[in-house]
Amino acid sequence: MRVKTFCDTIKIERNECLPDCSACQEKCVEVKQEIYPGCAGIKVIHIPEVNSHTAVICNQCAEPACAEVCPSGAITKSEVDGIVRIDEAKCLGCGLCALTCPYGGIHYDAGAKKAFKCDLCDGDPQCVSVCPNDVISLINVRAVWQYLHEDQFAGGVAFCAGCPLELTLRILSKVLGRETVIVGTPSCSAPVLYGQNIGTWHRLPYYSCLMTGVASSATGLVRYYRKIGKDVRVVCFTGDGCAADVGFQPLSGAAERNENFIYICYDNEGYMNTGIQRSSTTPFGAATTTTPVGVAARGKGTPAKNLPLIIAMHRVPYVATATLSHMEDFVKKLLKAEERRKEGFAYIHVFSPCPVGWGIESDSSIQVCRMAVRTNYFPLWEAERGRFRLTHTVATPRPITEYTKLIRKFRHLTKEELAQLQEEVNSNLAFLRHLTEFGGEEGTSSAEG
């Protein structure tokens, strides 16, 4: 069954609230004072006994049980914005909604005989901005789900346990649809895309070439399809080793020629498939098999090459960074890349932790992605023809140690080395912020000059 009306929803990171903080709830009470005194649509839960600190809020369900049960028809789900609202004038105050909602989304005031719930502040929820710990965010589900196509991948694909590549490829195929040709290389993604030995795990045409030939092969494919008059999107899907090192020259060339295809680089910060060797995007301090930790060396001695920035400097129609913890952001960027492909070159750099090569738990990849964003280690941004914009800003950045402690390739780092890595993160972000200041027409023309 397909539900037609999708609603933006509030996402709350579980158990990440600050102990004793109730800023969201207080803000809600303040905002809703006039409509419903003393009530909040969001509730904080602090249970020190089980070390749980979180908040709950209405899910704006697709089939709201509260609306189904309401005996006076006071609760409805809007067909326009998907928000589930209570018409206070029609509300009997019987409390059946609170008896029925399984998720604690209804606030029932027995004394006043009224029910109250989150109405997302009609699309601009005030609780989001007051959260001191970036726990609450508004997820634009509608924009994302409307565009999803059928998944082109089979179940049970042959990636390592916990590898983000599976989800990356599935969402890519769901967003871009069936009329897609993928160009790839021998790499982590090859077992599934190329289907070594047993056949492929997907229904998309796949062109496999050497790392040095990806961008130039894609160029040829695009021109062929143009010649036969067929609108097929060509998508290069390679690791960082191919994009930043081995296949960099053709990539840079294709960007400079402004070829009409999408290039997606999944960045696992090294040659993970061939034995965990360093690449030019391996970060400072990281241990790999070619930058080992010992008497003579302490991991990689130089910082990572910032590939997405370099591609952005080609002043192509679209460049963005993305990661799986911020899925709706990723999907929006895929949609934008698909749109901009018609004008020319589009590039998305996807941060992709490697459980095997980095030494992370196989169930923590998404957590690592999220922490990379929250520490500003991997800022989310996009650049359209050199005009930069941060697509997600972090109100209270976590120290880099919150990120490095999740990953074994950093575990040897001393305080001083960690400080150096933090400095690296800070200066990268500062540089990016400077770039965003060149927004607008003026920035564009001065950069061209």
Give the residues lining the site for other proteins (CB under 8 A). 1, 14, 43, 45-47, 49-50, 52, 54, 56, 63, 65, 68-69, 71-73, 89-90, 92-104, 106, 108, 110-111, 113, 363
Residue 438's Cβ-side half-sphere holds a number of Cα atoms within 13 Å equal to 16
Partners of residue 277 on adjacent β-strands:
271
Work out whether the CA dihedral 50, 55, 56, 60 comes out positive or negative: negative
Q: Nearest distance from residue 110's CB to other proteins, in Å?
A: 4
Element (H, E) at 202: none
For other proteins, the closer of residues 56 and 313 by Cβ is 56
- CA-CA distance, 98 to 116, in Å (whole number)? 10
- Spatial neighbors of 2 by CB under 8 A, at least 6 apart, are none
Q: Give the Cα-Cα-Cα angle 46, 30, 86 (nearest 5 degrees).
A: 90
- CA-CA distance, 431 to 434, in Å (whole number)? 5
Q: Nearest distance from residue 49's CB to other proteins, in Å?
A: 6
For other proteins, the closer of residues 52 and 427 by Cβ is 52
For other proteins, the closer of residues 103 and 224 by Cβ is 103
| CA 383 remoteness from chain centre | 16
Q: Nearest distance from residue 172's CB to other proteins, in Å?
A: 21
Alpha-carbon dihedral 439, 441, 447, 449, rounded to 10 degrees = -170
Q: Nearest distance from residue 361's CB to other proteins, in Å?
A: 12
Q: Nearest distance from residue 24's CB to other proteins, in Å?
A: 15
Q: Nearest distance from residue 332's CB to other proteins, in Å?
A: 23
- CA-CA distance, 257 to 231, in Å (whole number)? 20
Q: Nearest distance from residue 2's CB to other proteins, in Å?
A: 9
Number of residues that this document lists for the chain: 449
For other proteins, the closer of residues 184 and 355 by Cβ is 355
For other proteins, the closer of residues 5 and 420 by Cβ is 5
For other proteins, the closer of residues 65 and 310 by Cβ is 65
- CA-CA distance, 310 to 255, in Å (whole number)? 10
For other proteins, the closer of residues 108 and 358 by Cβ is 108
